[in-house]
Amino acid sequence: MKFQISIAATISSLLFFISCGTDQANVILIPHFELVSTGSYGVEMGDSLNMIGSIADLCYHPDGSVLILDRAAMLVRRVNQGEVTLLSRAGEGPGEMIFPQSLCCLQNGNILVADEGKREVMEFSITGDYLGSYFNTERYVPHRMFPVDSSSIAGAILDLRMGEDQILFAVNFARFDGNSTPSVLFNRRVWEWPAPELYTEIEMMHYVAAPDGTFYLTMDNTEYSVSIYSATGELTATIHRSDLPRIAKTEEEIEEETALFEERAVEDQAYTGGYEPCTYHSMISLAGVDADGNLWIERLDSDQETEGCLFDVWDSTGNMVYTASFQEPEASSDILFHVDQYGILASVVDPDLFPRVLFLELED
């Protein structure tokens, strides 16, 4: 059954009116919690063990250690109670990296690293032994992966194909069972090539998945709207907040973003010109799903009254259960968050600051 839950209220009062399909609204008090940092990893200057080059992705391992995909150093760092080990290295040989995009950890403890340069999702043991290809692809690999059940993943893979008389570019949001062919398709977007809007629309898409296979997807993160799919691919609910208007970019911001993209696109042989950025700012980012099966949505809108980083936490049926906030260590820093069934992580990715990982917990 598909249903939609709408919220109309202000976050400051924490009083939300949940539409129940009747003329009468129920008033529910939403509790609020603070996130606190319990430690960090990464140094500004140091040896190869502790100085992170760049953080492309990160996650927890079932044993409690943290895995960090360091793209600049071309390796995976495993941080376990202060002890650091390095897995893999740059190279074209088996288990070596050329252009890694993402990583995740299966529930059996094995580590997956998606490398677009090798067109392969590689599988490693916790000690770093290369176990072979989880699967190979024709062109692209998942830029984000989430473990499902014991040996499957959920993510999105780009696909370029020749239609009857037109080149088609598509993105498949799907579950993969050790094969690049989707076993469950949650959603799909197709463009006719050339498609300059592709670059903008892909930036607006965001997704995460839960270990039970529930898939969360926003096709446009400039709006507060998230679709929830069951493990079998059925759309079961939609999270939507109509009280938060989209935030328009200024003409100066649009011009600056266009110039920056055109400068970088020189290296993209597939780019045919015509790029136009989205005219609205991103409003939300999907941080992940916690041990209780709750979805964490980070609020990115600049009009929020709460300082720092603000999260809305929803259950899998589309009900908000609480909110949480985190005070940034540096007001100017860019921070990305990762939530999974083992814990909450934040990575500092501001290019003007040294990369590091923060370990977070909800304060009692």
Which of the two residues, 333 and 251, has the higher pLDDT score?
A: 251
State the DSSP H helix or E strand holding residue 251, giving kind and residue range, or none if neither.
helix 251-264
Distance in Å from the first CA to the final CA of the chain: 36
Helix, strand, or coil (residue 320): strand
**Is position 1 within any domain?**
no
Exposure string for 96-125, b = 16+ CB within 10 A, e = fewer: bbeebbbbbbbeeebbbbbbbebbbbbbbe
Local confidence band at 23 (pLDDT 50, 70, 90 cut-offs): very low
Going by C-alpha positions, the residue among 248, 310, 259 that lies closest to residue 285 is 310
pLDDT of residue 304: 53
B/e letters for 321-353, b = 16+ CB within 10 Å, e = fewer, are eebbbbebeeeeeebebbbbbbbbbbbbeeeee
Number of domains observed in the structure of the chain: 1
Which amino acid is present at 16?
A: F
The answer to whether the CB of 34 falls within 8 A of the CB of 42 is no
Question: Which residues, 6+ apart, have CB-to-CB distance to 206 below 8 Å?
Answer: 217, 218, 221, 284, 285, 286
Q: Is 253 helix (H, G, I), strand (E, B) or coil?
A: helix
pLDDT-derived band of residue 7, with 50, 70 and 90 as boundaries? very low
The per-residue pLDDT for 2 is: 33
For residue 246, is it within any domain? no
Which CA distances in Å does 219 have to 123, 134, 202, 337, 358? 30, 28, 8, 19, 29
Task: Tell me the pLDDT tens digit for each residue of 73-126.
Answer: 999 999 998 899 999 999 999 999 999 999 999 999 999 999 999 999 999 999
What separation in angstroms does the CA of 337 have from each of 153, 197, 304? 20, 27, 18
pLDDT in tens, 182-212: 999 999 999 998 888 888 999 999 999 999 9
Q: What is the CB-side half-sphere exposure of residue 66 using CA atoms within 13 A? A: 27
Its pTM stands at 0.90
With respect to residue 73, please indicate whether it lies within any of the assigned structural domains. Answer: yes
| pLDDT tier at 305, thresholds 50, 70, 90 | low
Range of the domain at 68: 55-204
Report the pLDDT value the prediction gives residue 131, as an integer from 0 to 100: 97
In percent, how much of the chain has pLDDT > 90? 73
* 259: helix, strand or coil: helix
Q: Which of 23, 22, 26 is nearest to 7 (CA)?
A: 26
Let me know if residue 59 belongs to a domain. Answer: yes
331 in a structural domain:
no
Between 13 and 286, where is the model more confident? 286
Q: Please check whether residue 124 lies inside any domain of the structure.
A: yes
The pLDDT of residue 21 is 39
Our CA dihedral for 318, 307, 67, 85, rounded to 10 degrees, sits at -160
What confidence score (pLDDT) does residue 165 get?
A: 84
Kindly report the backbone phi and psi dihedral angles of residue 282, in degrees, each rounded to the nearest multiple of 5, phi listed first: -65, 135
In a domain, 163, yes or no: yes
| Residue 68 within any structural domain of the chain | yes
Calculated CA dihedral for residues 42, 82, 130, 185, nearest 10 degrees: -70
Task: Look up the CATH number of the domain holding residue 85.
Answer: 2.120.10.30
**CA angle (59, 60, 61) in 5-degree steps:** 125
Q: What residue type is 323 in one-letter code?
A: T
